[in-house]
Amino acid sequence: MIGRWLWYGVVGASAVLGFGYALRDRVQSVVPDKSIDLVARGREVYISEGCIHCHSQYIRPVGMDTELWGPPTSPDKALAQSPVLIGNRRQGPDLSTVGSRLSPDWNRRHLIDPPGIVKGSRMPSFAHLFDGEESSRGEALLAYLDSLRAEKRIQ
């Protein structure tokens, strides 16, 4: 009788361990990888917070774009991104060269209080990205925005 219960215990423990081992890869893919660098995490924040809905990262080869933001973006370069961050509509400025134009400190203040920094701004506040546990998301977004630089220096 004890042999039978021992056998059930061994089989049950093996099944639980096997099931846990099989789920290990799935769980690891859901848990954020701490080794992802700050800029890559910032790009994820940019996408998840919906920045793409109001900002483009594609300087079009037309007068106003090149006057404001610099040299046009090559379509091949824009389409090589995954996901492509051309933008849905441009209500706010193009951000493809924002790191060459604005400091991380300016961007932080603007993300926290847009109308306080740019009079008449319709951009919502993203102050929550800099509060408590969310603060690492704000820092990552700032690192990503700072990484968006012009290939040539903007005058």
| pLDDT bucket at 32, cuts 50 / 70 / 90 | low
> What is the rounded average pLDDT of the residues 55-65?
77
| pLDDT bucket at 153, cuts 50 / 70 / 90 | very low
DSSP state of 49: T
Which residues touch 140 (CB under 8 Å, ≥6 apart)? 38, 39, 41, 42, 44, 45
> What is the rounded average pLDDT of the residues 8-26?
59
One-letter amino acid at 100 equals S
Could you tell me if 138 and 88 are in contact, meaning their C-beta atoms sit under 8 angstroms apart? no
Tokens matching residue 74: 């090559």
Does pLDDT of 15 surpass 80? Answer: no
Regarding pTM above 0.85, the answer is no
